[in-house]
Structure 1
Amino acid sequence: MRFIHAADIHLDSPLTGLSAYQDAPAELLRTATRDAFENLVSLALEEQVDFMVIAGDLYDGNWRDFNTGIFFSGQMGRLKQAGIRVYLLYGNHDAESEMTKRLALPDNVHAFSANKAETFKLDDLQVALHGRSFKVAATTENLVHTYPDPIPGWLNIGVLHTALEGHTAHANYAPCSVAELHAKGYGYWALGHVHDHQQWDGASRIAYPGNLQGRHIRETGPKGALMVTAQGPDIQSVERVIVDVLRWAALDVDVSHARTLAEVVQCVGLSLEALVSSTEGSLTLAVRVRLTGSSPAHGHLFGLESQLRAEILNQAAAIAPGRLWIEKVKVETQPIELPAQVAARADAIADLQSILANAEDDQEFLQSLREDLMQMVGKLHLDVLHAVPQLEALRNGDARDLVRSVVPSLVAHVAQAE
């Protein structure tokens, strides 16, 4: 017997920040969650699984219109024609309190109650699925204690949307511990809420499949669901199935040995080639490039962020046409000479560093700088401002962060020009 365990699908999740990038693959990003879900349903049909479990956050809050629900019903219709049942639990994003729009579910879809833990029995397979949907988004009680005892001799599956222990990056909803899950006596725990794939073995198999499709740079790497195989009451295997259609990647490039902008771009190109080679298939890759290291090229990069990104986009287009999108380039290199070493030079560069260091405490200068730059800042989109903390601080009346962040690069730039 086999079933698919999925979670955190976030159908039609709204995308933010795209307006800051004119070259973003906007259409692909907008439809990615639907395309990944279609891939999952197609896989279920191809593999002829016995049923599917969705452990919360099918949706991403209330629908803008009914099209999201209609799309889901259409996919469930495909499964119904093949006799595949679906067991759906609502999490914090699609809790009863979050959804003001609803459509009737196809009769092959069974949703867990939010009032109390509910059990669905599959007599033909001797499988019992136990679960409880969220009534309100901020469900902070431990729900495990409300789940029923296992049915002896059957495969008991607990479906739960939970932060589990130690996941500080996620809201602490329906908290519980791994030990509590093992103690319940179920054969398998189908969890949702955490967007990374994780598994625990022991008295029970416990697993997060992760979300089905990465939606931003904080959700990198392959995404998908789990294919679970059982024999009687025992779990035989739990294997990942990857269904994403666009993959986010954070690419750190050490440019310690690069001396010029051209050499930096060359280093990035080699890293992009390696990334494409290590990625199976023809997925589009959305990449954030981060340049690191104490580099002789540090000063050369000052003020050339736009050209640098254009050069890297050019490299990406040549390496994998249509497959690589550079989401952002972050310059986090360091100058070869530390501030103390520059100060010891006792020359015009050292004097410049001293003047700039004092500038962050010169209120008259800071006010003048802010007045000059606010004309430019006022024309920027909010997504850009939120992406650059120094500009956000400038808009709020503080120019110190901007001066402080610019000084090392400016000094290195002048020193190299000299």
Structure 2
Amino acid sequence: MKFIHTADIHLDSPLVGLSAYQDAPADLLRTATRDAFTRLIDDALTESVDFMVISGDLYDGNWKDFNTGLFFVREMGRLRRAGIPVYLLLGNHDAESEMTRKLQLPDNVFVFETRKAHTLYLEAHKVALHGRSFKDAATTDNLAATYPAYAEGYLNIGMLHTALEGNAAHANYAPTSIAELEAKGYEYWALGHVHEHVIHRGKSTIVFPGNLQGRHIRETGPRGAVLVTAEGNEIRSVDRMLVDVLRWHALDVDVTEADSFGDALAAVGRALDQVVADGADGRPLALRVTLQGASPAHGALFGLEAQLRAEVLALATALGSDRVWIEKLKVRTTPARTASRLAERSDALSDLQTLLAEAPQSTEFLDSLLPDLQAMVNKLPLDVLKSMPELERIRSGDLSALLDDVTPGLLAHLASAGEAR
């Protein structure tokens, strides 16, 4: 017996911040969650699975476009024609969705009720499927404690949308623990809510399949569902089914040895070549490139993130414009020269360092800067403001922290410029 376990599909989840980049592959990103789900349905048909379980967050909150729901119904219709039933648990995002309450689903889709946990018996496969949907988005009760007792003579599968213990990165909804889940005696727990792929093999097999498609840089690496194979009341295998259509990747580049802007760019180029050579199962890549290290090139890179991103984007285009997109480039280098070495100089640069070191404590100086800086920043697009923490600090009036951040790069830039002359 085979079934697919998926969760956290977030159909048509809006991608934030893309308007800041005219070169973004907007069409691909806009349809990525749908395309990944279609791939999953294709795989379900190819594998001739016995059923599918969806452990919450099919939708993405209070998303009012009913075309999203109609797309889901259409894909369920494909499974219906193949005789494949689907068991759907509503998660925190589904509890907010109008489509959850109003959309008429095909008769092969069964939705767990919100009032209490209950069991569906799939007699053809001797499976007892236990679950309870979220009624409210912020469900913080321990739902697992209310789940039915073990059903003898059946393969017991528990469906639950939960943060589980130790997942601090996710809202603490329907909290429970591995020990509590195992105490139920179910052979398999089909979990949702945590977007990373996690498998616990103990008294019970406890699985987060992860989400189907990474939607931003915090969701890097392969994404998909799992194909579970069982015999009798034993789980034989849990295999990943990778269905993502675009993959996010954080590329950290060490430029410690770079002496110039050109050297740093060359280091990024080599790193890009390696990422492309390693491949992403043939999928396009969305990269966030971060330059790191105590580098002599720190001053030459100061304030040039936009130019550097354009140069790196050109390198990526040469590798194949449909294969690599640079989502963002960040310079997180530090000066190779220490502040104490600059202080040893007896010139205008050391005087400037002293002035900048004292500036954060000078209220009068900061107050004189703030109006002009805020007037400039308030004219910028919102996406640009969100992409640069330094600009947000100006808006909030926090110039002390801004000076602390900018000073090392500015001094390094002036020092390298002076040496170049």
Task: State the TM bucket, normalised to the shorter chain.
Answer: over 0.9
Identity of aligned residues (%): 62
Q: Which moved more, 1:350-359 or 1:97-106?
A: 97-106
TM-score norm. by structure 1 comes to 0.97
Q: How does 1:9-24 map to 2 (within 5 A)?
A: 9-24=9-24
Q: Deviations over 1:2-36 (max 9, x none)?
A: 11000000011122111221211111111111110
Which moves more between the two structures, 352-361 or 151-160?
Answer: 352-361
**In structure 2, C-alpha distance between the alignment counterparts of 1:183 and 1:270, rounded to whole Å:** 51
User: What secondary structure does 1:414 align onto?
Assistant: helix
Once residues 72 and 99 of structure 1 are traced to their aligned partners in structure 2, the CA distance between those partners, rounded to angstroms, is 10
| Aligned partners of 2:62 and 2:96 also within 8 Å | no
Partner amino acid for 1:360? P
Counterpart in the other structure of 2:207: 207
State the alpha-carbon separation in 2 of the partners of residues 378 and 216 from structure 1: 26
The equivalent of 1:198 in structure 2 is 198
Shift of 1:100: 7.2
Partner of 1:370: 370
Aligned to 1:141: 141
| AA aligned opposite 1:373 | L
2: CA distance between counterparts of 1:28 and 1:368? Answer: 47
- C-alpha separation between the residues in 1 aligned to 2:320 and 2:261? 22
Q: What is residue 413 of structure 1 aligned with on the other side?
A: 413
Deviation at 1:226, TM superposition (A): 0.5
Amino acid aligned to 1:24: A
TM-score where L is the length of structure 2? 0.96
Residues 99-118 of structure 1 mapped to structure 2, 5 A cutoff: 102-118=102-118
How far apart in 2 are the matches of 1:170 and 1:336?
38
CA distance in 2, matches of 1:184, 1:98: 33
**Partner residue of 1:126?**
126
Higher share of residues assigned helix: 2
Matched with 2:398 is: 398
Query: For residue 153 of structure 1, what is the aligned residue in structure 2?
Result: 153
The answer to whether the Cα contact below 8 Å between 2:59 and 2:97 also exists between their aligned partners in 1 is no
How far, CA to CA, are the matches of 1:280 and 1:267 in structure 2? Answer: 21
CA distance in 1, matches of 2:210, 2:402: 38
Residue 340 of structure 1 is matched in structure 2 by: 340
Cross-structure match for 1:228: 228
C-alpha displacement of 1:276 = 1.5
Partners of 1:310 and 1:114 in 2: how far apart? 51
Q: Secondary structure at the match of 2:266?
A: helix
Match of 1:314?
A: 314
Distance, in Å, in 2 between the alignment partners of 1:108 and 1:100 is 16
* 2:296 and 2:337 in contact (8 A); partners too: no
Q: Secondary structure, in 3 states, of the residue corresponding to 1:334?
A: strand
1:261 is matched with 261
Question: CA separation in 2, counterparts of 1:302 and 1:372?
Answer: 22
Matches within 5 A, 1:176-195: 176-195=176-195
Shift of 1:99: 5.5
Partner of 1:360: helix, strand, or coil? Answer: helix
Instruction: Tell me which moved more, 291-300 or 376-385.
Output: 376-385
> Is the contact between residue 288 and residue 327 of structure 2 (CA under 8 Å) also seen in structure 1?
yes
Structure 1 residues 353-392: aligned runs within 5 Å: 353-392=353-392
State the partner residue of 2:241.
241
Q: Which residue of 1 aligns with 2:78?
A: 78
Query: In the aligned structure 2, how far is the partner of 1:84 from the partner of 1:396?
Result: 55
- C-alpha deviations, 1:219-259, integer Å up to 9, x for none? 11110001100011100001111000111111100000011
Counterpart residue identity of residue 2, structure 1 = K
Which secondary structure state, in structure 2, belongs to the residue aligned with residue 293 of structure 1? strand
Indicate how the Cα distance of structure 1 residues 281 and 200 shifts in structure 2: closer, same or farther if over 3 A, else same.
closer
* Cα distance between partner residues in 2 of 1:242 and 1:295: 39
Decide whether the 8 Å contact of 1:98 with 1:136 is kept in 2. no
Aligned length: 418
Structure 1 segment 270-349 matched on structure 2, within 5 A:
270-349=270-349
Tell me how far apart the structure 2 counterparts of residues 361 and 320 of structure 1 sit (CA, whole Å): 50
Q: Offset of 1:345 from its aligned partner?
A: 3.0
- State how far apart, in whole Å, the 2-side matches of 1:350 and 1:92 are: 56
Deviations 1:174-217 (A, max 9, x none): 00000011110101000000000001111110000011111111
Structure 1 residue 151: Cα displacement: 1.5
DSSP 3-state at the match of 1:195? coil
Contact 1:189-1:206 at 8 Å conserved across structures: yes
Asked if structure 2 preserves the Cα contact closer than 8 Å seen for 1:66 and 1:101, the reply is no
For 1:17 and 1:156, locate their aligned partners in 2 and report how far apart those are by CA, in whole Å. 43
In structure 2, list runs of 5 or more residues that go unmatched. Answer: none
Q: Distance in 2 between matches of 1:172 and 1:54?
A: 20
Q: Which amino acid aligns with 2:90?
A: Y
* 1:31 matched to 2:31: yes
Note the aligned Cα RMSD (angstroms). 1.4
